[in-house]
Amino acid sequence: MRLVLASNNAKKLAELQALFAALPLEIVAQGSLGVPEAEEPHATFLENALAKARHAARLAGGAAIADDSGLCVDALGGAPGVVSAHFAALALPAGEREAQRRVQDEANNALLLQRLQGHADRRARFVSTLVALRSADDPEPLVAVGRWPGVILAQRSGSGGFGYDPLMFIPALGRSVAELDAATKNAHSHRALAAAQMLNLMRDAWHLG
């Protein structure tokens, strides 16, 4: 069964291919089928993931899966939430994508620390919402949510990962996400938790595996 990933992120594609390797699925990126990026105008991870999955399923003419994820901080009412990747509003000049991401990440982290000044409650969680559809008009979307709880540090720690990883301390592991090796991160992450749920849902509802 072909499953179109509503993303052109090569790392996300490889990660989901590995996580769903036990199922008879061929997961392909939407860009390889000429499907453009979908709009993400909604206020929740669920609505954005559903919109992206429907968009990919409609244009590709088959099953699709989408992920919407980000950081939710209790003291900020759940912010940055769906705008996690662009929390700090920057007008970046055209340039190499990886360099732009590093600049954006640095600005996002600085803004998060600024917003949390004076707050004693620094609890937060990474959230990943996966939505899978058999077709664009599937009345029974499969929904899986992974939550990875932690605490926002007062300063960055670790050089690995990306985004908010240097500020997100995981008490259960005694390290920041940026201090974890890739294998440990992938085994415990919010996306891994959501994927494990989705794998079981696909086995039960789609009779795969």
Catalytic residue positions, numbered: 68
Q: What is the CA radius of gyration of the chain?
A: 17
Residue position matching structure tokens 């992120």: 9
Q: Parallel, antiparallel, or unpaired for β 26-29 and 175-176?
A: unpaired
Residue with tokens 């004076």: 118
Write the DSSP assignment of 133-183 as a string of letters: ESSTT-SS-EEEEEEEEEEE-SS---SSSSTTGGGEEETTTTEEGGGS-HH
DSSP 131: E
What amino acid is encoded at 108 in this protein?
Answer: N
Sheet holding 168-170, edge to edge: 26-29, 2-5, 64-73, 123-133, 142-152, 168-170, 175-176
Separation CA 125–CA 190 (nearest Å):
9
Residue from 30, 36, 33 nearest 12 by CA: 30
